[in-house]
Structure 1
Amino acid sequence: MDREHVIVVGLGFGDEGKGAVVDALCAAGPVSAVVRFNGGAQAAHNVVVDDRHHTFSQFGSGTLAGVPTWLSRYVLVEPIALATESRELEAIGVADPLSLLSADAGALLTTPFHVAANRAREDARGDGRHGSCGKGIGETVWYGLLEGRTAGEVVEEQVVLGDPGPAPRVGDCLDPRALRRKLDALARFYEPLIGAGPGVDDLVELYRSFADAVRITTGDEAGRLADAGRLVFEGAQGVLLDETYGFHPHTTWSTVTPRNARELLGGRNARVIGVTRTYQTRHGAGPLPTEDPAVLARFPEAHNGTGQYQGAWRAGHLDAGLLRYSVRCCGGVDGLAVTHLDAGGLRVAAGEELLDMPDPLAYLEELLGVEVLVTGAGPSRADYEVRENRRHDRVDAGVGGRDRAAVRP
């Protein structure tokens, strides 16, 4: 591949293998930084390098390749979980992980208040659960929309419980008095839903320690990083969970498409790589049109299981229609990353037909009209290949392609 900036986006319901793709790109180098451009601590990107395995949540998936991470203003930062992840990385040999991390001062903070409120709402839904990860993501975004609102108003289908204050942000961790005011308001706001909650004094101390350990950036950090070297933008979740294009209410409160990354780049060139497995998966509640228990039984999952709030791991056949829809939502892609190529006996839903797919790479290139630029045939970095592109075409937002590359059963 050439040395343009790269935006990595999942084309499914998440869990496509974005972390392993980012790690492969960083290992192939040169990459000066990984930029997170959406989501928060609910990300779970698995990277395996030799005998080391880590599930990346807030650190970028290039960390084991020695590439630093910048958390942009579009990321929800959870300092307590971040400290835990740092210790996990130290345990597998990463020296001083927090020195590899920086965060935008404008990024929203996810606090224990948000997490508790998220879980309380999801518990109250009973059988109508949305499939939340229980990490406070939606609650963090929602509270960030409330400044100037009053009790009783309905915002994004949720009733405002009391009088909200300004949302706490990463930059507030540098100013304990401002941070305390915002956390006090947050605690009062959520008390009717979750009770007393954690102690504000303890949180102020924790977040001040976070500010001492992590470089907090202001201004056009994205532009400075982009002009200094090649960036890989690491997306979280998948387009089919996007807050605008996903299937509500089983969606994330996050823009999963490349829009945020493009805005951060300010018109600089970048290539969009869409990531897909060779079969369809999703966690928890929501539609999965090609779901097949036989697929779930045939392809055991080493790093995914049933989550308390997220729900069960599910699998089915690749869905050509959903893939093309995801590409359109992205405004087109410049190439593909295809993972789980070690899976055999693959089939694809093309319209109302279920077709055999003996050569998934050829099929996907034909279907979407772009090349496969990264392949993955196993869980480890050694199973991934970053390919040199033979052409520089780009599929537009209309996505052409045909389904004839598959073979009818």
Structure 2
Amino acid sequence: MKTADIVIGLGFGDEGKGITTDFLASRNSNAVVIRFSGGQQAAHTVMIDDRKHVHSSFCSGALRGLPSYFTEHCTIHPVFLYNEWKELKDKNGNTNLHIHPLARVTTPFDVLHNRKDVRNTEHGTCGKGVGATMKRHESPYRLFAADLIAPRSLLIEKLKGIAFYYGFSEGEEIQNALDDFLNAIDQIEWNIAGYDYLNSFEHLIFEGSQGILLDMDHGVFPNVTYAHTTSKNAHEVCRQLGIEHIEMFYVTRIYATRHGNGWMSNEKQLPLQNNEEETCAFNEYQGVFRTGDLDYELLNYALKVDEGYGYAYRKNLVITCLDQLDEEFSIKKLTTKFDALFGSYSPYAKDFKRMDE
């Protein structure tokens, strides 16, 4: 019987989905890890002994040795992917990545538009072109993973159309970006495969991106991500594969976080400790990393929203960063009944603890 774990963030992202995925990977060495939303804007940190990797274009089981799969709901950027491939290879991670033929491809034009559009930067952006890519795919100017293995002449014509879509004219900046883009495509051995590829695995680990409070349908517009960050897409893939034995892992830090613009309740600067490995830092696109007290009403809201997207035979809650704040988690304030409660007491999955036993 095929089984699946689905990892979902309950906040505005940065909850600890990477370490949770790594924990699940450590218990299922023959599984495959699947991204089902977002793309190269993810920054999921995994630490194993003296190795550390921030997963963006690969799933968070890669450092531990598991293969990665990106669904049609994701975006990929060949340059970012190639750069991360080299990093993972140097760290002896698993660079085996399969990509659905209809995954959306981010081009240099998407990234440039993303970073230069004032309205976009005011709303909030990671500067990786993901939102621009998803928006462009509502037009006829689309580029899919399958196009990367098509005849080069076809790819070039599609790229010309995308440049026209954004109104870019020829220039040194554009040409240099295109050269890097095409070179990266040539350096990668592309494994483009539909969902049949997943049938060779008995256990699937679905790794979410960002959090439910940034979902395009449920977040506070316009400061949302252009993706379904609930379990919606993961449940759809499970239904296609006939998987009914699903276990949920909902993740939150012991405190609230948000990296980027937009509304946030209970915001204040917290006296954190032991957070030297924090990878969320100031950058020119997202600004400062914001913190605040945990809002249990928002957690209940996020859990109730996700309940509508599919049935799971087990629901688990994961609380991360327990070593960074002297704070007790009040499970009684949550209305959802959980089968297990896990806690992360360090940046390492080996320090995960079952808290309800």
Q: TM-score, normalised by structure 2?
A: 0.89
Q: What is the 5 A alignment of 1:225-236?
A: 225-226=198-199, 228-236=201-209
Aligned match of 1:396:
none
Largest Rg, 1 or 2: 1
Counterparts of 2:179 and 2:243, CA distance in 1 = 43
- Asked if 1:114 is matched to 2:110, the reply is yes
- Asked if 1:280 is matched to 2:256, the reply is yes
Q: List structure 1 segments (4+ residues) > 6 angstroms apart after TM superposition.
A: 193-196
How many residues are matched? 345
Aligned match of 1:327:
303
Gaps in structure 2 of 5+ consecutive residues: none
Aligned match of 1:93:
92
State the superposition RMSD in angstroms: 2.5
Q: CA deviation at 1:8?
A: 0.5
Aligned match of 1:337:
318
Counterparts of 1:204 and 1:57, CA distance in 2 = 20
Counterparts of 1:307 and 1:236, CA distance in 2 = 19
Residue 233 of structure 1 aligns to a residue in which SS? strand
Residues 228, 3 of structure 1: alpha-carbon distance in 2 compared, 3 angstrom cutoff: closer
- Asked if 1:172 is matched to 2:175, the reply is no
- Asked if 1:125 is matched to 2:129, the reply is no
Q: CA deviation at 1:215?
A: 1.0
Residue 129 of structure 1 aligns to a residue in which SS? helix
Q: What is the 5 A alignment of 1:3-402?
A: 4-94=3-93, 97-98=94-95, 100-121=96-117, 124-125=118-119, 129-147=122-140, 166-175=141-150, 176-192=152-168, 197-198=174-175, 200=178, 203-210=181-188, 213-218=189-194, 220-221=195-196, 224-226=197-199, 228-266=201-239, 267-269=242-244, 270-293=246-269, 295=270, 300=275, 302-331=278-307, 334-346=315-327, 358=328, 360=329, 362-363=331-332, 367-385=335-353, 387=354
Check conservation: 2:275, 2:324, Cα contact below 8 A.
Answer: no
Q: CA deviation at 1:208?
A: 3.8
Residue 7 of structure 2 aligns to a residue in which SS? strand
Residue 14 of structure 2 aligns to a residue in which SS? coil
Q: CA deviation at 1:92?
A: 2.1
Q: Which has the higher contact order (CA 8 A, sep 6+)?
A: 2
Output the amino acid matched with 1:125: R
Check conservation: 1:174, 1:208, Cα contact below 8 A.
Answer: no
Residues 193, 141 of structure 1: alpha-carbon distance in 2 compared, 3 angstrom cutoff: farther
Residue 76 of structure 2 aligns to a residue in which SS? coil
Counterparts of 2:342 and 2:62, CA distance in 1 = 19
Output the amino acid matched with 1:146: S
Residues 290, 193 of structure 1: alpha-carbon distance in 2 compared, 3 angstrom cutoff: farther
* Deviation digits for residues 243-299 of structure 1 (CA, Å, limit 9, x no counterpart): 110111111001001111111112522122111111101102111111112x15557
Counterparts of 2:169 and 2:15, CA distance in 1 = 35
Residues 108, 363 of structure 1: alpha-carbon distance in 2 compared, 3 angstrom cutoff: same
Q: CA deviation at 1:311?
A: 1.3
Counterparts of 1:205 and 1:299, CA distance in 2 = 41
Residues 361, 54 of structure 1: alpha-carbon distance in 2 compared, 3 angstrom cutoff: farther
Gaps in structure 1 of 5+ consecutive residues: 148-165, 347-357, 391-409
* Deviation digits for residues 168-193 of structure 1 (CA, Å, limit 9, x no counterpart): 11101111122111101112222359
Counterparts of 1:375 and 1:3, CA distance in 2 = 27
Check conservation: 2:11, 2:212, Cα contact below 8 A.
Answer: yes
Q: CA deviation at 1:369?
A: 1.8
Counterparts of 1:111 and 1:105, CA distance in 2 = 16
Q: TM-score, normalised by structure 1?
A: 0.78
Residue 167 of structure 2 aligns to a residue in which SS? helix
Q: CA deviation at 1:226?
A: 4.6
Counterparts of 1:180 and 1:316, CA distance in 2 = 47
Q: CA deviation at 1:6?
A: 0.6
